[in-house]
Amino acid sequence: VKVELIKQNALQLLIRCIIEIEFDPIKVKPIVLEILLALSFNNDALSTLRQNINFMLTIRNLVNSTNSNKSNLQRAAEALLWKLEKEAEAVAKLTNSKSYKYDIMISYSHSDRQLCYQIHERLIQDGFSVWIDRDNMYGTTMMAMAEAIENSEFILICMSDTYKQSVYCQSEAHYAFERRCHLIPLIMKPCYKPDGWLEIEKRNKSTLSTEYELFDGKI
pLDDT at 47 > cutoff 90: yes
Range picked from 179-183, 205-209, 212-216 for highest mean pLDDT: 179-183
Share of the chain above pLDDT 70, in %: 79
Domain end, chosen from 40, 58, 92, is at 92
Residue 106 falls inside a structural domain: yes
- 63 and 106 fall within a common domain: no
- 10 and 38 fall within a common domain: yes
The CATH number linked to 196 is 3.40.50.10140
Structure confidence at residue 97 (pLDDT) = 59
Q: Tell me the CA distances in angstroms from 5 to 1, 8, 13, one per residue in order.
A: 6, 5, 10
Q: Of 210, 106, 198, which is closest to residue 161 (Cα–Cα)? A: 198
- CA–CA separation, 112 and 84 (whole Å): 28
Residue type, 31: I
Mean pLDDT value across residues 88-113: 84
pLDDT at 145 > cutoff 80: yes
Q: Of 82, 76, 87, 73, which is closest to residue 150 (Cα–Cα)? A: 87
- 195 and 132 fall within a common domain: yes
Residue 30 falls inside a structural domain: yes
Mean pLDDT value across residues 197-212: 55
Q: How confident is the model over 106-126, as pLDDT tens digits?
A: 999 999 999 999 999 999 999
Q: Where are the beta strands (DSSP E) in 30-172?
A: 102-107, 130-132, 152-159
Q: Where are the beta strands (DSSP E) in the chain?
A: 102-107, 130-132, 152-159, 182-187, 212-213
Q: How confident is the model over 50-82, as pLDDT tens digits?
A: 999 999 999 999 988 766 456 788 889 999 999
- CA–CA separation, 20 and 18 (whole Å): 6
Chain-centre distance for alpha carbon 55: 21
> Minimum mean pLDDT among 145-149, 156-160, 199-203: which range?
199-203
- 67 and 120 fall within a common domain: no
- 119 and 207 fall within a common domain: yes
Residue 18 belongs to domain spanning: 2-92
Beta bridge mates, 186: 158, 212
Q: Of 68, 194, 90, 191, which is closest to residue 146 (Cα–Cα)? A: 90
Q: How confident is the model over 9-28, as pLDDT tens digits?
A: 789 999 999 999 999 988 99
Residue 218 falls inside a structural domain: no
Q: How confident is the model over 174-196, as pLDDT tens digits?
A: 999 888 888 988 888 888 888 88
Domain end, chosen from 70, 92, 114, is at 92
Residue 6 falls inside a structural domain: yes
Structure confidence at residue 200 (pLDDT) = 64
Structure confidence at residue 69 (pLDDT) = 53
Structure confidence at residue 214 (pLDDT) = 47
pLDDT at 33 > cutoff 90: yes
The pair phi, psi for residue 32, each rounded to 5°, is: -65, -40
Domain end, chosen from 92, 118, 149, is at 92
Q: Of 167, 169, 35, which is closest to residue 106 (Cα–Cα)? A: 169
- 205 and 107 fall within a common domain: yes
- 162 and 78 fall within a common domain: no
pLDDT at 5 > cutoff 90: no
Structure confidence at residue 40 (pLDDT) = 93
> Minimum mean pLDDT among 40-54, 73-87, 138-152: which range?
138-152
Residue 175 falls inside a structural domain: yes
- 20 and 47 fall within a common domain: yes
Average pLDDT, the chain: 83
Count H helices, E strands: the chain? 12, 5
Contact in structure between 46 and 88 (CB atoms under 8 Å): no
Residue 97 falls inside a structural domain: no
Structure confidence at residue 99 (pLDDT) = 81
Q: What is the count of structural domains for the chain?
A: 2
- 69 and 168 fall within a common domain: no
- 192 and 130 fall within a common domain: yes
- CA–CA separation, 177 and 91 (whole Å): 10
Residue 219 falls inside a structural domain: no
Contact in structure between 37 and 83 (CB atoms under 8 Å): yes
